Amino acid sequence: MAENEIVLEAQVSRKVMAARLATGLAQGLLLYWLYAAARDAAWPATSAYVMVPLMTVLLIWPVLLVSSLGHLTLRAVGYWLLAAAVVLLLFAQHDVWRGLHSHLLLPRWQYRSVWSPSVPLLGYAAAFFFIAHAMVMAGAHEGRRIASYNGYFETAWKLAIQLLFSMFFVGALFLVLWMGAELFMLVKLGFLRELLQQSWFNVPVVCTAFSCAMHVTDVRPAIVRGIRTLLLVLLSWILPVAVVLVTGFLCTLPFTGLTALWETRHATAVLLATATVLLVLINAAFQNGAAIVALPLRVGARTAAILILPVIMVGIYALGLRVAQYGWTSDRVMAAAYLLVTTCYAIGYLWAAYEYDTWLQPLTTVNIYTALLVLAVLLVLFSPLADPARIGVHSQMARLAQGKLAAADVDFHYLRYQGGRYGKAALQQLARATGPDAAVLQAGAKAMLAQDDKDRWKTPVHSTAPVSVADNLTVWPANAQVPAGFLAQNWQDTPDNQKPSCLSTREGKCDAFVFDADGDGKPDVLLLEKQHAFGARLYAEEGDGKWSTVATLSYRDAACKPLIEKLRKGEFTLATPRFKELDIGGQRFELRAEHPPRENCLK
């Protein structure tokens, strides 16, 4: 190990260290320039086709340069970084072209017409270049296009730990700086606190400190290797626990059925996360294939390699059901791409698990070629070929044309803000719709097209016909009737976070308890969602004839099944509050009684 450190120290000379620090400083200054332009709503922040590519390149490209210096020849560095810049620019230009880049939120949440890369672009570009950079570095070190698995293993884990500890170093540095600022404040000196509130100081310091940490971890490979070994050993001993849990889950499915799984509406995401955890833990135990592994870990890794495929198959079925019911969306396209990759892993790992003569050695081949598949999938997703936004919008419009999607259920908000240019084109088409549902489609599309981008995070509203509200309610007691004014009210103007789903979607179902809660002689309506007990809302008719929320039932009480059963049976009375309200200056203030802890929801 000492010899390796000497060799690396010679490669990473003082000139390389200076170049890395200069790169970090230049990155910080340029990023501050972009921030200042965004703050002042000046060029290039006001030009999406300039701002988004510049920000994307400046966030990722300097990190590749810092990591490459001292390990690649200058010619190799030039070729690799030129190729990386071209790919980043193509990614960013496509992000702008498809209309999914986002507005920046500036201090005090002030809205400006300035632009930034979309979150998916930065996330998936970072993943793409982590894999690509590790493969390029390993190949250059061994002098061949496809390096050995050990080379990829060493390079990828070293890079991952470098990035992790560099972020930790930056955080620790600012904690110390803030500690110093507070110390100086004790003697009434606020210069350091004021300095730490200045972006012209913070941004360059963050980037320079990050580059410094990358250099320090690079010249001490033995320390990085030791941290990596410790981390992998700790992770590997979690593998048996994961295997037991996943095996238990799969064994319960024949008895519980899959209905409860689908009702969660996030089964695919959980299953994909489970498969990912198994993949990571298997590789933590396998390492480079030469590590000495205890028998329990060998058994656990082989079992986990078998379990991944059934988990993925259930995930594929879950996604298929959602697509059949509701069509494709951007998220479901991304999930399908992830399922494709994990399916390749699952098949390869199953093959490796049945190779009893070796210790999962086929994983070396599976991991290398599936990594290449990941790069290909990411390239396709960030191109017009398989743009998730295009596929999602076209799917929703096709369902509408085929009658599978009702006009009242069209998600105009999704088309406007997640469909990009494709969604806006669809909205423009719907604004000119003809036919029996033309009024609903035109109104929704025109309202969404007229909405300002700064309102994208407002809770969307949905239009619901009165007849669908009645169909969504199960009335208690059985002989009671929901007031006609409640059913006839237009709930479209009520935000979704202020009403249960049964007032906005056909899928939402509620229990409706009709009784006079305030003693004014008029019936009130208590709505409780059947599928998701997020609390209950009591609606009363106001003087103008409109119905609105006047009281709520807590989440804890609404989730109490015995309590709900007694409500349905009518086994309740209305009691006078123990304490009256305080009337101060014409405003009412409630005195809430303290209740002793209850062992269950009815005590």
Give the pLDDT score at 356.
67
Q: Can you say whether residue 66 is alpha, beta or left, with left for phi > 0 and alpha for psi between -120 and 50 degrees? A: alpha
210 has a pLDDT exceeding 80:
yes
Structure tokens at 225: 């290797």
Structure tokens at 65: 């340069």
Give the pLDDT score at 372.
96
Q: What is the mean pLDDT of residues 113-130?
A: 89
* Residues forming beta bridges with residue 548, ordered by sequence position: 540
| Cα 462 from Cα 456, distance rounded (Å) | 15
Q: pTM for the whole thing?
A: 0.78
pLDDT in tens, 131-160: 999 999 999 999 988 999 999 999 999 999
583 has a pLDDT exceeding 80:
yes
| Cα 97 from Cα 387, distance rounded (Å) | 12
239, 300 in Cβ contact below 8 A?
Answer: yes
Backbone torsions φ then ψ of 475, nearest 5 degrees:
-90, 135
Q: Determine how many CB atoms are found less than 10 A away from the CB of residue 537.
A: 22
Distances (CA, A) of 122 to 57, 126, 372, 444: 10, 6, 20, 32
| Cα 533 from Cα 88, distance rounded (Å) | 45
pLDDT in tens, 39-67: 888 899 889 999 999 999 999 999 999 99
Which residues, 6+ apart, have CB-to-CB distance to 100 below 8 Å? Answer: 118, 120, 121, 389, 418, 420
Give the pLDDT score at 244.
97
Residue with tokens 């469909």: 419
| Cα 535 from Cα 509, distance rounded (Å) | 14
Which residues, 6+ apart, have CB-to-CB distance to 287 below 8 Å? Answer: 153, 232
Q: How many CA atoms lie within 13 A of 603 on its CB side?
A: 4
107 has a pLDDT exceeding 50:
no
For 582, the 3-state DSSP assignment is strand
